[in-house]
Amino acid sequence: MPLSAVDPARYPELLAAKCERVNALLAPFSPPPPEVYPSAVEGFRMRAEFRLWHDGDALDYVMFRREDPATPVPIKRFPIACDRIRQLMPQLQDALVHNATLRRKIFQVEFLCTLSGDALVTLVYHRRLEQEWEEAATRLASDLRVSLIGRSRKQKIVIGNTFVNESLQVQGRDFRYRQYEQAFTQPNAGVNIAMLTWACERGASLGGDLLELYCGNGNFTLPLACHFDHVIATELSKTSVRAARENLAENGIDNVQIIRLSAEEVSQAIRGDREFRRLAQLPRPLADYDLRTIFVDPPRAGLDAQTLKMACDFPAILYISCNPQTLAENLATMCHSHRIEHFALFDQFPYTDHMECGVLLLKK
């Protein structure tokens, strides 16, 4: 997103236009009028990544335009970032400029922060990091009050933690999350809370057990577990599975089983095409669960054909989509057997064309 697109005064107009485009795209499936959840107009991003550009004594955060990927654009202000990132950016820049050990052959920096102000900074280099670097980086982490990770080829040095701790309030309860460096997390915490709340409100009356695919670090799993008897949540990433299990334990949630399976493998297991030893972790056979609802938050490609077919066998489908186009493609199948009961639009990425959608579909 070019920073020139950031225009808080025009945000309501830009949001309305984006909603209109998504409504037109999904109109053939007769959804009800959407519930629209706007973003804060500034300070909403909890993650940021920049290249670092060396020019004599100057060192700048830069980004590149898609139409001109060879020309660096210095970033002097980054208004979409949260307060903690905006505070850290000049402090880190000044420290790197004045420390040759930290500065030499650095080419990228990544920030990961939380609503509570916890912060992790990753510095990426084109050279091997020696003891001198680690000593300087340890002082820097202390000065900035952050965890810090140094990365170079086949090397990772951790000072502090490899994660940040987040707390999100959903329906009056604080849910605590451990979010790992370079693992997926929702970038807009305020809109994420709106998404979690909407999903819980929609799921509260469905009853029975829940099957969740693509559960990640348990972002939706934790609050949704309060509304179902049992939850089977699946995820393929080892880091995310570990985080999800840690987050469940931290929050004292004991009605969720996390299984490391892909969506395609879950489809095969539900149909009985294959047996997976990993399912032996379940307290009872998969067929003995009262799985009435499936919750999916798939990647931009949407649901594959096998998973889509499996989802259509459930009485209720809760679907969070980061790509309205692939959601429309999936709805073309799902709406043969289901109707859209609820529809929501979540503006995770203001000033861009991207829109997050939520739909609850019930069997006709």
Residue numbers annotated as active site: 322, 356
Q: Which CA distances in Å does 166 have to 113, 185, 210, 351?
A: 8, 11, 25, 25
What spatial distance separates the first Cα and last Cα of the chain, rounded to whole Å? 40
Angstrom distance (rounded) from CA 142 to CA 145 = 5
Radius of gyration over every alpha carbon of the chain, rounded to an integer in angstroms: 22
Q: Give the count of alpha carbons within 13 A of 306, CB side only.
A: 11
Residue 286 phi, psi dihedral angles, 5° rounding: -55, -40
Q: Quote the tokens at residue 89.
A: 């950016």
Cα 88 versus chain centre, distance: 22
Angstrom distance (rounded) from CA 83 to CA 88 = 9
Of 238, 313, 235, the residue nearest 272 (C-alpha): 313
- Put the strands of the sheet holding 47-55 in their side by side order: 68-74, 58-65, 47-55, 106-113, 119-125, 147-152, 155-159
Angstrom distance (rounded) from CA 226 to CA 205 = 12
Angstrom distance (rounded) from CA 176 to CA 267 = 30
Q: How big, in percent rounded to 5, are the helix, strand and coil portions of the chain?
A: 35, 30, 35
In the block, residue with structure tokens 């861009």? 352
- What is the chain's length? 364
Identify whether the C-beta of residue 79 lies closer than 8 Å to the C-beta of residue 42: yes
In the block, residue with structure tokens 């030499």? 104
Identify whether the C-beta of residue 243 lies closer than 8 Å to the C-beta of residue 164: no
